[in-house]
């Protein structure tokens, strides 16, 4: 990197491992469900993988069973125009519900409200993912109120 250029930390982080998929708060930002850039990026990797200590210092890492790792995988442009892997909106909502104890409750509620108002939401896909990720019972009360 040139000293005069600005670092695209999402892109740089994604280059460290092909198994990194941006999730949670970072995926909210990439999917335009949040205006805030997270202070610390969130990534998900398969539970049978590991990241280097240096990478772990730079991000919040979540682990998932390998068969669910690529569920909802999509690609988005960063602010600097690089393409990175992240989860789609529906998967991101399910991940936030799965990890409510590690996420800010205001972030979760704002994400659910933004998702409900989003014109391109896919409720059928959301329900499918919620069942696969075992958060359907947590999701239902929120969606009943918001929709």
C-alpha 64/C-alpha 19 separation (Å) is: 11
Residue 134 lies in a domain: yes
- DSSP tag of 4: T
User: How many domains does the chain divide into?
Assistant: 1
**Residue range 2-53, pLDDT digits in tens:** 455 577 899 999 999 999 999 999 999 999 998 888 889 999 999 999 999 9
Residue 87 scores a pLDDT above 70: yes
Give the pLDDT score at 24. Answer: 95
Residue 3 lies in a domain: no
Give the pLDDT score at 70. Answer: 97
Nearest to 146 by CA among 88, 121, 125: 121
Residue 13 lies in a domain: yes
Residue 1 scores a pLDDT above 80: no
Range of the domain at 128: 9-146
Residue 25 lies in a domain: yes
- DSSP tag of 131: H
* Highest-confidence segment of 53-62, 95-104, 123-132: 123-132
C-alpha 147/C-alpha 137 separation (Å) is: 16
Residue 92 lies in a domain: yes
C-alpha 61/C-alpha 14 separation (Å) is: 13
Q: Tell me the two tokens of residue 94.
A: 């399910």
C-alpha 144/C-alpha 146 separation (Å) is: 6
Residue with tokens 């740089």: 12
C-alpha 70/C-alpha 118 separation (Å) is: 23
**Residue range 94-124, pLDDT digits in tens:** 999 999 888 888 889 999 999 999 999 999 9
pTM for the model: 0.91
Residue 4 lies in a domain: no
Residue 128 lies in a domain: yes
């Amino acid at each position: 990197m040139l000293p005069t250029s600005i670092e695209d930390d999402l892109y740089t982080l994604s280059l460290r491992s092909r198994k990194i998929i941006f999730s949670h708060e970072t995926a909210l930002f990439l999917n335009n469900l949040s205006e805030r850039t997270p202070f610390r990026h969130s990534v998900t990797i398969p539970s049978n993988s590991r990241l280097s200590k240096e990478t772990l210092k730079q991000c919040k890492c979540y682990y998932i069973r390998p068969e669910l790792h690529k569920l909802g995988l999509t690609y988005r442009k960063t602010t600097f125009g690089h393409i990175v892997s992240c989860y789609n909106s529906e998967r991101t909502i399910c991940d936030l519900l799965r990890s409510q104890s590690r996420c800010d409750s205001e972030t979760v509620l704002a994400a659910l409200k933004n998702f409900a108002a989003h014109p391109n939401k896919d409720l059928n896909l959301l329900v499918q993912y919620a069942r696969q990720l075992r958060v359907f019972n947590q999701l239902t009360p929120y969606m009943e109120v918001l929709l």
